[in-house]
């Protein structure tokens, strides 16, 4: 289909340099592709780290970052049948997964060997239009406003998947270690599953927000020993480790907070190494696992949880033109939840 649209996008050319707002030509959707008119995009910490040169640069440069996208279908390719112009959809980091490698067919498409990453291999969402595969956009249920939808593609789906992998169930004591964009949603997902939730963090303001969104207990590491506190509750069944600072202490404390048979789920990936005692690890049969991202299933479930009112994403909205301001506030740790850009 020939549409030939022009629009604005933040073009990222070099690590350590802020993307610049430029007018560009967007490709027409062909075959199984769709072109989205962007409505709202979440600003991810990974993008900030990429821009600041603390995360490996995208394999394809220049590019347009942004992989937490909500948009309206603007045009569709010749072979697209199940998505139509006007549909409200989301697009995540999973721009394309092959559906036939060993990881895809075993339900782990986030590990797909043929993965094409939104924003890193192809242009992403910090632009007025985005090209996508019809197979990898997911319809937004009625009742989910544009500004909430991007959270389902990462900030909810990531903790949701971590809890799914750890088999969280009613009555479990779940510790959300690190309060922020993902933590607030992790608390709400765990509460919806019937778990008791402890939120651990430093910022008083963020811990208060954690309580507001449903945490049963809040622990400030500046004021008390989180391990002692959690052990006092009987120990954790599951710890979601979300901290991103290079200090491995929260991860080690998370391990020591587990009860026998408890599971430490690594969700934030700070640089460095973990040092854990093998005897305690073995005799208490603790599990230490990593959970990378999510699948389209986790995104669908995250959207459902918003639609049913089980998760209310914590966001701070900015206009598309305020992207540099959103980055700066994120850099300074001044955003309470997920910064979300709104497109006119
Ligand atoms: Zn993200
Ligand atoms: Zn695959």
Distance 123 CA to ligand 1 centre (A): 15
Contact 270, 250 (CB under 8 A): no
- The pTM is what? 0.96
Using the Cα atoms of residue 276, residue 282, residue 286 and residue 289 in order, give the sign of their dihedral: positive
Contact 19, 12 (CB under 8 A): yes
Distance 184 CA to ligand 2 centre (A): 31
Distance 41 CA to ligand 1 centre (A): 10
Contact 316, 339 (CB under 8 A): yes
Note the pLDDT of residue 269: 81
Distance 295 CA to ligand 2 centre (A): 12
Distance 178 CA to ligand 1 centre (A): 16
Cβ contacts of residue 140 below 8 Å, gap of 6+? 70, 88, 89, 90, 149, 303
Distance 136 CA to ligand 2 centre (A): 13
DSSP for residue 313: -
Q: Nearest bound ligand to CA 151?
A: 1
Q: Nearest bound ligand to CA 46?
A: 1
Q: Nearest bound ligand to CA 120?
A: 1
Q: What is the CATH number of domain 157-290?
A: 3.40.50.720
The 10 Å CB-count burial string (b at 16+, else e) for 75-98 is bbbeebeebeeebbbbbbbbbbbe
Domains of the chain, residue spans: 6-154+294-342, 157-290
Using the Cα atoms of residue 51, residue 21, residue 180 and residue 293 in order, give the sign of their dihedral: negative
Q: How far apart are CA 97 and CA 106, in angstroms?
A: 13
Q: Nearest bound ligand to CA 110?
A: 2
Distance 154 CA to ligand 1 centre (A): 5
Distance 233 CA to ligand 1 centre (A): 33
Distance 123 CA to ligand 2 centre (A): 20
Distance 159 CA to ligand 1 centre (A): 12
Q: Which CATH class name applies to 6-154+294-342?
A: alpha beta
Cis, bond preceding 62 (omega within 30 deg of 0): yes
pLDDT string in tens for the chain (344-residue length): 677 899 999 999 999 999 999 999 999 999 999 999 999 999 999 999 999 998 899 999 999 999 999 999 999 999 999 999 999 999 999 999 999 999 999 999 999 999 999 999 999 999 999 999 999 999 999 999 999 999 999 999 999 999 999 999 999 999 999 998 899 999 999 999 999 999 999 999 999 999 999 999 999 999 999 999 999 999 999 999 998 778 889 999 999 999 999 999 999 888 788 999 999 999 999 999 999 999 999 999 999 999 999 999 999 999 999 999 999 999 998 999 999 999 98
Distance 131 CA to ligand 2 centre (A): 20
Closest to 137 measured CA to CA, from 181, 78, 93: 93
Q: How far apart are CA 222 and CA 244, in angstroms?
A: 17
Note the pLDDT of residue 211: 98
């Amino acid at each position: 289909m020939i549409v030939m649209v022009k629009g604005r996008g933040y073009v990222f050319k070099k690590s350590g340099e802020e993307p610049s707002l430029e007018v560009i030509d967007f490709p027409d959707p062909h075959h199984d592709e769709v072109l989205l008119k962007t409505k709202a995009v979440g600003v991810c910490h990974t993008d900030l780290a990429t821009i600041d040169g603390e995360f490996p640069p995208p394999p394809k440069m220049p590019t347009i970052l942004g992989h937490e996208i909500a948009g309206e279908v603007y045009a569709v390719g010749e072979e697209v049948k199940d998505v139509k112009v006007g549909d409200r959809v989301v697009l995540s980091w999973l721009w394309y997964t092959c559906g036939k490698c060993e990881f895809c067919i075993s339900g782990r498409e986030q590990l797909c060997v043929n993965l094409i990453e939104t924003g890193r291999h192809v242009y992403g969402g910090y632009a007025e239009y985005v090209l996508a595969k019809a197979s990898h956009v997911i319809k937004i249920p009625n009742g989910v406003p544009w500004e909430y939808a991007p959270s389902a593609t990462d900030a909810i789906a990531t903790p949701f998947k971590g809890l799914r992998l750890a088999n969280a169930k009613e009555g479990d004591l779940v510790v959300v270690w690190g309060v922020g964009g993902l933590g607030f949603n992790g608390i709400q997902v765990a509460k919806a599953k019937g778990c008791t939730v402890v939120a651990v963090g430093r910022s008083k303001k963020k811990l208060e927000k954690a309580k507001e969104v449903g945490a049963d207990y809040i622990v400030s590491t500046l004021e008390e020993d989180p391990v002692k506190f959690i052990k006092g509750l009987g120990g954790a069944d599951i710890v979601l480790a979300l901290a991103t600072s290079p200090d491995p202490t929260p991860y080690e404390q998370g391990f020591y907070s587990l009860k026998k048979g408890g599971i430490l789920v690594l969700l934030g990936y700070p640089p460095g190494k973990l040092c854990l005692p093998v005897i305690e690890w073995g005799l208490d049969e603790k599990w230490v696992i990593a959970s990378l991202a999510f699948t389209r299933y986790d995104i669908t479930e995250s959207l459902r949880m918003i639609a049913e009112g089980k998760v209310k994403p914590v966001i701070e909205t900015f206009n598309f033109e305020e992207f540099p301001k959103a980055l700066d506030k994120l850099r300074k740790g001044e955003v309470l939840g997920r910064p979300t850009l709104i497109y006119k």
